Each structure stands twice: as C-alpha cells, then as structure tokens.
Structure 1
Amino acid sequence: MKLGRLNHIGIATPSIAASIAYYRDVMGATKIHDPFDLPAQGVKVCFVDTPGENGTAGTQIELIEPLGADSPIHGFIAKNPAGGQHHMCYEVADIHTARGWFEGQGKRILGPTRIGAHGTPIFFLHPKDMNGVLTEIMEVADGH
C-alpha cells in the first residue's frame, strides 16, 4: 500500500458562509467552489483550493457544516463552537487495498467504505490509531 498526497484538510464550521468570507477576505483564496449539501454524510461542504507548485493543484480546504442535529459533526461543533480542524484526507490508488492494509495493521476503521464529497470511495480511521488525527482515506483515479 502506498499513501498518496494530502488531498484536503477538513475544517468543521458552524457557518460555511462566514468561513468562505474568511478564506476569501483574510486568507486571499481566489478559488472557492460553490457549497453543496451532502445529505448522505449529514454535512454541507465547500472546497477552497490552494495553489500547488508549477501550476499543480495544491491541498484543498474542505469546509464542513452540520446539516442538523443528526449530523456526525454536530457534536464536534457543540464541543468547539467556533469550529476547527476535523480531519485530514490522504489519497490512495485503490481503496480496497488500503482498507485491507490498515485493517492488517490493526487500525480501527469507522464505518463502511462510502462515496465522499469528491464523488470517490472513502473511509475514516479512528484518531486514537492515527496519532490523534481523524484520518480520511480517499481513492483517486489516475493520480487525481
């Protein structure tokens, strides 16, 4: 199993609109995607692009806002009313190989493999097994 690049950092926020204004007005982000609801995961999502080297794509910021009290990040926002870093996401070429490898390493996988906000298969690893960081593993096709 080979771990790929850091695809995005998930930032939980009580207000995507306020976070968009922050990344645009304070951080100078110039590429902010339109927010969209992802009901299957109980969140509203907005991606903010950062530039990479030599015109390549950089790491994205994934803003996530809970869609109601049943959202899996509702509790995170309740404990952190201003929001904060929620997870980090790494790319892999094959989600099934990666899942088997992490399971073989004794890492706890949180829930089934499912389709994530980028439209590709994902799963999450328990933060207690990943140096205290909730870690998302995401399959990418042809390197992106």
Structure 2
Amino acid sequence: MNSLRLFAHPISKVVSSRTMASHPLSDLLGRLNHVAIATPDLEKASTFYKNLGAKVSEAVPQPEHGVYTVFVELPNSKIELLHPYGDKSPIQAFLNKNKDGGMHHICIEVKCIKKAMETVKSKKIRTLTEKPKIGAHGKDVVFLHPKDCGGVLIELEQE
C-alpha cells in the first residue's frame, strides 16, 4: 500500500501537470526524423532490416558528406545507415573508434533552421558549421556539438 502512496505525492501532481508547451524549446523541436547508425558493412546492415520486413532504400552516395546512406522506413520514423565514402569520411573516423559501428546521431525536424540555429546559439549550444548544409533529404541541416548535447550528436533538419 505504501508504494501506491508514492504516486499520490504532491510533487508527482506538479510534474504530471506540466506540459511540454512550457519548455523553452517547445516551439523549436519537431518530430524525430531518423536515428543514424554507422556501419562497417552496409549490405549486411541493410539485409538485417530487410529480413525484419522493413522497406530499405538503395545505397546513395553523398560525396559532399563523405557517406553512403541507406534509409530504413519505419511506421513512425526512419533509420539512416551510414557507411564511409572517400578518404576523409567522418564515418570512417567514427568506425575507427567503434569497429562494429553504432549510433552516430539523431535527427530532429525544425520549422525554421535559421531560427533554430539562433536559438541554440543563444543557449550556448555550438553548431558544427556556421551555415546549414543540404542533407541527405535535400533539406537544410545543421549538426549540434555533442559536448553541448549530453554526448549525443544532434542533427536539426528543416521540415
């Protein structure tokens, strides 16, 4: 019975009644677009998701980003598989430290990339570039420094 009383504690009422709309970034962050996974074997990773019944795209070279991308479509989001392209691929550097691959970044949509950049900078969150670049979906993107984001590389993408 005492364990049930925990849920009736006054602090839980305060926490549960707080809405996301009160958060300072509520007007900035949209839906999760994708989770990106670096892989040393793109074909093996693609086959893994195909065998689970997912719709998996063909590999697309993204020379300006130094990667090949494959998108795995899920009902509520996507997984982006990343594989090195070229000698200066940031994914190769990641794989040098993580031989089996792993989560590389998450991508969150924003309504206005320029406003998003201004907002994060005002909160002392560094961007990895001064201007947005065109991402794999043909939309403006910017990456946020993982040291300012709890150790996670975050990509913001224009809706």
Q: When the two structures are superposed, what TM-score results if normalisation uses the length of structure 1?
A: 0.88
Task: Give 5+ residue unaligned stretches, structure 1.
Answer: 52-57
Q: Deviations over 1:21-78 (max 9, x none)?
A: 11122xx133111110000000000000011xxxxxx110000001133101111001
Task: Give 5+ residue unaligned stretches, structure 2.
Answer: 1-26
How many residues align? The count is 132
Q: When the two structures are superposed, what TM-score results if normalisation uses the length of structure 2?
A: 0.80
SS of corresponding position for 1:107: coil
Which stretches of structure 1, 4 residues or more, deviate above 6 A after TM superposition? none
Counterpart among 55, 63, 66 of residue 31 in structure 1: 55
SS of corresponding position for 2:29: coil
State, as a whole percentage, how many aligned pairs show the same letter: 42
Determine which structure has more spread, i.e. the larger CA radius of gyration.
2
Is the Cα–Cα contact under 8 Å of residues 77 and 83 in structure 1 kept in the other structure? Answer: yes
Is the Cα–Cα contact under 8 Å of residues 29 and 48 in structure 1 kept in the other structure? Answer: no
Q: Deviations over 1:68-118 (max 9, x none)?
A: 331011110011111000000000011000000001111010023100001
Higher relative contact order (CA 8 A, sep 6+): 1
SS of corresponding position for 1:40: coil
Report the counterpart of residue 87 of structure 2 in structure 1: 69
Higher helix share: 2
**RMSD, aligned α-carbons:** 0.9
Report the counterpart of residue 50 of structure 1 in structure 2: 74
